[in-house]
Amino acid sequence: MKCLICSSSFLEIASWRKLLFIKSSQLVCEKCLNKFEKAEEKDCRNEWIGTHYEGALDSVNSIYNYNDWMKHVYQQYKFQLDVELANIFTSDFLPLLKVKAKIVPIPLHPDMLLARTFSQVDELLNAANVPFHHVLSKTLNHSQVGKSKKERISTELIFTVTKDVQNQNILLVDDLYTTGTTLHHAAYVLKKAGANTVDALTLIRA
């Protein structure tokens, strides 16, 4: 088999090990697989205490750390439009099949979607056959990079709610948690629109 990340050929793992690994991990050689680093449990909402977004998100969990390896792999996925790479994370998203909450991916701004041709978050969910609903629309397309926290939290809201979310439990899914701005803004507008709980899961945490 050929590794989806480094393209080197590798032997299919022995059958007894196949039972232990889920199919998706066989798309990547063991050397590449070992470079991923699981994120430790940490409540990264603390930074938002004292702002009016405090409490908007009920919880945030991330699967992987943004180490150099993940940066490399994710850039390949996101910026080189390598849709195939979504398949290597299939097993990470399979637990979402059991989640009762409504799964809502963070959308791209329409202009960005046009430029990128695919939504990286949607494709991660598609690869694992996880059903999801778009209830948010991204209305601002400017990057938050380089702004101080104070400026960030006083900017206009980035999202509008497009569907009825009253009394619903929502699980937001995004690719990367950096400052938390995106998820906090999304959770804030969802709660304002009547959502009961808003939790979040990201593939990576910076």
Q: Site residues (CB under 5 A) for Zn ion?
A: 3, 5-6, 29, 32
Q: Using the minimum distance from each CB to Zn ion, give the nearer residue, 32 or 190.
A: 32
Shortest distance, position 5 Cβ to Zn ion, whole Å: 5
Beta carbon nearer to Zn ion, 25 or 126: 25
For the chain, the DSSP string reads -B-TTT--B-PPPPHHHHTTS-GGGGGS-HHHHTT--BPPP--TTGGGTTSTTTTS-SEEEEEEE--HHHHHHHHHHHTTT-GGGGGGGHHHHGGGGG--SEEEEPPPPHHHHHHHSS-HHHHHHHHTT------EEE------TT--HHHHHHSPPSEEE-S--TT-EEEEEEEEESSSHHHHHHHHHHHHTT-SEEEEEEEEE-
Residue 87 C-beta: closest distance to Zn ion, Å = 14
Residue 93 Cβ vs Zn ion, minimum distance, rounded to whole Å: 21
Q: Please tell me the distance from the alpha carbon of residue 80 to that of residue 75, in angstroms, as a whole number.
A: 7
Q: Find tokens 């709610």 and name the residue.
A: 161
Nearer of residues 26 and 202 to Zn ion, judged by Cβ: 26
Q: Least CB distance from residue 77 to Zn ion, whole Å?
A: 14
Q: Which residue has the tokens 């900017």?
A: 155
Closest to Zn ion by CB, 32 vs 44, is 32
Judged by beta carbon, residue 32 or residue 136, the one nearer Zn ion is 32
Task: Sort strands 59-65 and 197-205 into parallel, antiparallel or unpaired.
Answer: parallel
Q: Which is nearer to Zn ion, 2 or 134 (CB)?
A: 2
- The least CB distance from residue 91 to Zn ion, in Å, is 16
Give min distance, CB of 32 to Zn ion, in A: 3
